[in-house]
């Protein structure tokens, strides 16, 4: 299985959060995958 991805991190000053987005494909299956998470700087949690 080969995972190809492009990570992106965007900080929002208004929300005081950093948003992480990973998208990519499993080349053998041709499926598109999307994962989104955020880090809350005020509460120090993901």
pLDDT tens track for 22-46: 887 776 667 777 889 999 999 999 9
- Cα 33 versus chain centre, distance: 11
Q: What domain range includes position 24?
A: 3-40
Q: Looking at the whole model, is its pTM more than 0.75?
A: no
pLDDT tens track for 6-26: 789 999 999 999 999 988 777
**CA–CA–CA angle 2, 19, 32 (5° rounding):** 30
Block residue for tokens 């998208």: 23
Distance, in Å, from the CA atom of 31 to the CA atom of 24, rounded to the nearest integer, reads 8
Report how many domains make up the chain: 1
């Amino acid at each position: 299985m080969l995972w190809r991805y492009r990570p992106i991190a965007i900080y929002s000053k208004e929300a005081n959060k950093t948003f992480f987005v990973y998208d990519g494909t499993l080349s053998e299956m041709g499926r598109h995958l999307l994962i989104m998470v955020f880090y809350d700087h005020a509460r120090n949690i993901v």
